[in-house]
Structure 1
Amino acid sequence: MVLEEAISSIEASGTIDELRLSLHRVVQNYGFSGFAFIDAGRPELDLPYHTGTYPPAWERAYIQNDFVHCDPALTRVRRTNTPFHWGELKLPERQGRKRPPELKMMEAARDHGFRQGFVVPFHYRDRLGAVHSSSTVFFWEDEPHDFDKLFVCHRHELHLLMIYWVQRAMDIVNRDQRNAPTILKPADAAETIKLTGREKEVIAWAARGKTVADTAQILGISPETVEGFIKQALRKLEASNKTHGVAKSIALGIIDL
């Protein structure tokens, strides 16, 4: 299937189910076994919106082991617009017998037959200006060498296809909003989060690993004032703690690292 035919099949899809099957056929023509699309903009959720053509056993393992909270690909997706593959992920080193959760997740993926994954981040604004983030991974089960050649030759095509796919999904959802997945719905104006300049600054410095004392010294204000700005930001973000607030700010495009 040439690129023009793939785009035409995506644009001809009339429902989300048709769109999902259309993308499945397209990625299979590239050699992938299937795909997974997931809402990457809600890190606080235990079960964000997801769809795809992955095996049910992988879905069960992913959910039961809470991999959504340690998936290293999702962490990278929230910080980049550029497609990448699993081999580019920086994983923590194993310390003794204890395996970091990121390693457990990647080992589980290999146990389910996935030898590589091509990941496409996507960040977009709806008509009211709210930012949404998603991650799409195409699963590869064949020889890694063949994947390497495909990545070099076709990564731009696959990125372009996902731009068309997400846009078509949004078009379908805008037409049938009652049954729309939350990630693709236009947000209400009340859901748009607005932080002040100082609130953005303290969250941005926290994202860079700075303590309250560090941030106070950098900004030339008292630690108590920094704490106040952090509390205000977390309240607006509806975040349970500073880590949650940082992740949500990055995912929503409020701060840029």
Structure 2
Amino acid sequence: MESAKTALAVHELFDHLLTAEDESDVAHYVRAIVSALGAESYVFVSMNPAESPASRSSHRFLIGCRPEWCQLYNANKWFMTDPFLDYSMNNTEPVCGSQIEASTPGQKDMLVSAHENGFRSGFVVPVHTSDKERIGVLYLGSEKSEAEGERIFTANRMYFRSLAMELLDWSINAAKNEVLLSHSITTKDVRIVTLLKNGFTAEDIAKEMDVSVQTVYGIYKKIKDKVGVSHISEVVKFAEVNGLLV
């Protein structure tokens, strides 16, 4: 009976999460979901796997853990050698934290600090897009013993995996909307760049949009100015990296 009530409550929270309007709402419902499923701390990060770890310009975070842990993580640059991120780059199977080995002194220090800051037991949930242009990692923690915490995480892995997938979708859309807004890129701009990516020439695009070729070149110039590049091929690359293509 208790498990049925928990499942119902989690389903209702997922419904709220799917209609959340902003990041604070998303964070609120994620916190409620992971708490209902036996976790006490979480960090979700999404990134472009082709980006160097030191850059982190494409990284997006949703944080539900002690601020001290985040400060230590950044101060020690553990993002450069994080074994959980390494695992998640090439795997999609959720795994208990104890199953991922630390192979360097820095990684061992990271795990000790994690255990002291809300991740005594942990669970790592990687999630990838179909083209692997962006991946996500949901890292869950509990103050429960490793054995007890990991038993609970494993029992609820289906929910945690669903949550990670929803968060990756949210992250992709949020990042895309930020880029569109910050560069004043329109729906028409995206359509044209997508046609370029698909091999359309300026003449093809002019015919597709029922405008002159000169008009298409004028649009090219405006898009290049918005992005701040000198060649239209660079716009296509920018759109690919930022997930703007349709």
TM class, shorter-length: 0.5 to 0.7
Provide the aligned C-alpha RMSD in A.
3.0
Partner of 1:159: 161
1:147 aligned to 2:154? no
Partner of 1:210: none
Deviation beyond 4 Å, 4+ runs, structure 1 = 171-177
Give CA-to-partner distance per residue, 1:105-159, whole Å, 9 cap, x none: 111111224212211111115xxx6711121101111232321321332112210
Partner of 2:181: 178
**Could you tell me whether the CA contact under 8 Å between 2:118 and 2:143 is conserved in 1?**
yes
1:62 to 73, 81, 84: 73
Q: How many residues align?
A: 177
Partner of 1:45: 54
Partner of 1:229: none
2:15 to 8, 14, 26: 8
The one-letter code of the counterpart of 1:119 is V
Unaligned runs of 5+ residues in structure 2 are 1-5, 184-189, 198-246
Query: What is the deviation of 1:163?
Result: 1.6
**Could you tell me whether the CA contact under 8 Å between 2:92 and 2:126 is conserved in 1?**
yes
In 2 relative to 1, CA 173–70 (structure 1 residues): closer, same or farther, beyond 3 Å? closer
Q: Which of the pair is proportionally richer in helix? A: 2
1:133 to 132, 135, 139: 135
Partner of 1:77: 88
After superposition, where does 1:1-257 map in structure 2 within 5 Å?
A: 1-2=6-7, 3-40=10-47, 41=49, 42-47=51-56, 48-92=59-103, 100-124=105-129, 131-171=133-173, 177-178=180-181
Tell me the distance in 2 between the aligned counterparts of 1:38 and 1:119: 11
Partner of 1:249: none
Tell me the distance in 2 between the aligned counterparts of 1:120 and 1:179: 31
**Could you tell me whether the CA contact under 8 Å between 1:15 and 1:172 is conserved in 2?**
no
Tell me the distance in 2 between the aligned counterparts of 1:174 and 1:101: 34
Query: What is the deviation of 1:174?
Result: 5.1
In 2 relative to 1, CA 35–113 (structure 1 residues): closer, same or farther, beyond 3 Å? closer
Query: What is the deviation of 1:79?
Result: 0.9
In 2 relative to 1, CA 179–117 (structure 1 residues): closer, same or farther, beyond 3 Å? farther
With structure 1 as the length reference, what TM-score do the two structures score? 0.60
Tell me the distance in 2 between the aligned counterparts of 1:145 and 1:62: 25
The one-letter code of the counterpart of 1:39 is S
Give CA-to-partner distance per residue, 1:182-228, whole Å, 9 cap, x none: xxxx9x87xx9xxxxxxxxxxxxxxxxxxxxxxxxxxxxxxxxxxxx
Tell me the distance in 1 between the aligned counterparts of 2:35 and 2:120: 15
| Partner-residue secondary structure (3-state), 1:78 | helix
Query: What is the deviation of 1:179?
Result: 6.6
The one-letter code of the counterpart of 1:148 is E
Tell me the distance in 1 between the aligned counterparts of 2:143 and 2:38: 9
Q: Work out which structure has the larger RCO, using CA pairs closer than 8 Å and 6 or more positions apart in sequence.
A: 1
Unaligned runs of 5+ residues in structure 1 are 93-98, 181-185, 193-257
Query: What is the deviation of 1:4?
Result: 2.0
**Could you tell me whether the CA contact under 8 Å between 2:119 and 2:141 is conserved in 1?**
yes
Query: What is the deviation of 1:70?
Result: 1.3
Tell me the distance in 1 between the aligned counterparts of 2:41 and 2:125: 14
